[in-house]
Amino acid sequence: MRSSHPPIVATWLLEHLRSDKENESLIGDLMEDYGRGRSNAWYWRQVLAAIVVSSCGEVRAHVVIAIKAMVTGWAAQFMLQFVAWGLLNRFHLWLPLHHMLLLFFGYGIAASVTWLILWTPIWIGSGWFVGGLYRSRLASMVLVFSASVLIWKLLRLPWTIHLLFNAAGNSRYLPELVVELMGLILPSVYIVLGGLLAGISKRDSSAQRAQIMT
Amino acid sequence: MRTRDYLGSFELMVMLALIRLGENAYGVPISREIEERSGREVALGSVYATLERLEEKGLVSSDLGEPTAERGGRAKRYFRVTAKGLREVRQTQVALKKLWRGLPQLEGGTV
């Protein structure tokens, strides 16, 4: 059954990922139209379209800044990767952790968990870094970085498809396919999450500033 | 020959919807008007992006209305076409009419 309130998460995303001056009026319009019987799917479609249209417009208007944001994101990712590997090697954590997981849960879980432990903070961190650095254009710059990572990851698509066929024929390849799919999709999602975190901390600090001013 | 930017097709649709709606032109009726006349779902985000662009060009102006409860306490933004905007629409209409004339492939069809 359809609720009388529009999806909260969608509205929240629109508030945080679209920064145009007309944002409040747009959200009000969407709520009003939703109240007249539009579906949840319609609301989500409208929200996602609004974010993409606004971000594309901003990227087109500020191409140089978008390129800088992409380069910054990739640099942050390499730096965080370097630090993470350095820490894991320094404290000899990586192999014992991987072996322990392998022993108790098998290859699939071990590979997935180690991937998540290593790459989750790296990708979220790089998204957060770009979001924090380009606060006035947070959504568009984080999305452009996320898109660049997705395009880069899609270069591995032939290998993913190859694994998909292998896994369809033999379940032994399933764990490898899961890790491959995680590596394909999750980095872009994590970057957006990191950007959202930067947006939340930005709003909090703005609220604190407003409180101090009063 | 004078060079100038003509209105894009979606910009023109938005401008025509604004002219048609008059005083009551804000996001919801604008998108409904375009949807009903074009038969396609319109993204409100695209309508707003277009309106912002038209406002920057000075073809449209806007004012904030009163916030209402059904909109979660958010105000409506009313848009209207400026004199410059009206001139631009007329010039686009003239140019399109000239281009339309004498095209047998486009005569007599319903869609």
- Asked if A18's CB is within 8 angstroms of B27's CB, the reply is no
B79 in Cβ contact with B30 (< 8 Å): yes
**Residue A181 in contact with partner chain B when CB distance is under 8 A:** no
Candidates A21, A45, A17; CA nearest to B44 is A45
* CA atoms of B81 and B20, how far apart (whole Å): 10
Cβ <8 Å between B74 and A31: yes
Q: Which helix (H) or strand (E) holds B81?
A: strand B74-81
For B55, nearest residue in chain A (alpha carbons): A22
DSSP secondary structure of B27-80: HHHHHHHHHHHH-S---HHHHHHHHHHHHHTTSEEEEEEEEEGGGTTEEEEEEE
What pLDDT, in 10s, does the model give residues A52-91?
A: 898 888 899 899 999 999 999 999 999 999 998 888 777 7
Residue of chain A with shortest Cα separation from B42: A46
Both tokens of residue A8? 């909260």
Candidates B59, B77, B45; CA nearest to B8 is B59
Show which of residues 3-22 on chain B sit within 8 Å of chain A, judged by CB atoms: none
The predicted structure's pLDDT at residue A214: 42
Flag if B67 and A28 touch (Cβ within 8 Å): yes
Across the interface, do A29 and B27 touch by the CB < 8 Å criterion?
A: yes
Q: Is A80 on the interface with B (CB under 8 A)?
A: no
Q: Which two tokens stand for residue A157?
A: 């698509």
Specify whether the CB–CB gap between A199 and A138 falls below 8 A.
yes
- Give A-chain residues touching B43 at CB under 8 angstroms: 45-46, 49-50, 53
Rounded to an integer, the average pLDDT of A127-155 is 92
Compute CA distances A33 → A16, A156, B1, B78, B102, whole Å.
21, 42, 46, 16, 42
Cα separation, B83 vs B87, in Å, equals 6
What is the rounded distance in angstroms from the CA atom of residue A5 to the CA atom of residue A11? 10
Q: What is the mean pLDDT of residues B42-60?
A: 94
Distance between A211 CA and the closest CA of chain B, angstroms: 22
Q: Is the pTM of this model over 0.80?
A: no
- With CA atoms as reference, the chain A residue closest to B75 would be A25
Instruction: Give which of B11, B74, B76 to mutate to test A binding, by max A Cβ within 10 Å.
Output: B74
Interface touch B45/A52, C-beta < 8 Å:
yes
More confident residue, A24 or B19: B19
Q: Tell me: the pLDDT tens digits for A81-121?
A: 999 888 877 777 777 777 777 777 777 788 788 888 889 99
User: Are the beta carbons of B48 and A32 separated by less than 8 Å?
Assistant: no
Summarize the confidence of residues A123-137 as an average pLDDT: 92
Write the CB contacts of B51 (distance below 8 Å, at least 6 apart in sequence): A22, B14, B30, B60, B62, B79
Question: pLDDT tens for residues B39-48?
Answer: 988 999 999 9
Distance in angstroms (rounded) separating the CA atoms of residues A128 and A119:
14
- Which residues are within 8 A (CB) of A153 and not within 5 positions of it... i.e. 6 or more apart? A183, A184, A185, A187, A188
Angle between helices A174-213 and A8-17 (to 10 degrees): 70
CB of B56 less than 8 A from some CB of A: no
Mean pLDDT across chain A, nearest whole number? 85
Which of A15, A24, A25 to probe by mutation at the B interface, max B CB count within 10 Å?
Answer: A25
Res A170 pLDDT > 50: yes
Candidates B11, B32, B48, B66, partner chain A, best to mutate (most A CBs within 10 A): B48
Of B26, B53, B67, the CB nearest to A29: B26
Give the contacts of A90 (CB within 8 A, at least 6 positions apart): none
Over chain B, what is the mean pLDDT?
89
Residues 6+ positions from A13 with CB-CB distance below 8 Å: A47, A51, A196
Does A208 score more than 70 pLDDT?
A: no
Q: Does A52 sit within 8 Å of B71, measured CB to CB?
A: no
Q: Indicate whether A12 pLDDT > 50.
A: yes
- The residue to which tokens 């954590």 are assigned: A93
User: Is the pLDDT reported for residue B109 higher than 80?
Assistant: no
State the ipTM, two decimals: 0.84
Cβ-nearest to B43 among A24, A32, A46: A46
Cβ–Cβ gap A28/B75 under 8 Å: yes
Got the DSSP string for A146-157? Answer: HHHHHHHHHTTH
Closest C-alpha among B54, B72, B50, B75 to residue B64: B75
pLDDT at position B17 over 50: yes
DSSP β-bridge partners for residue B60: B81
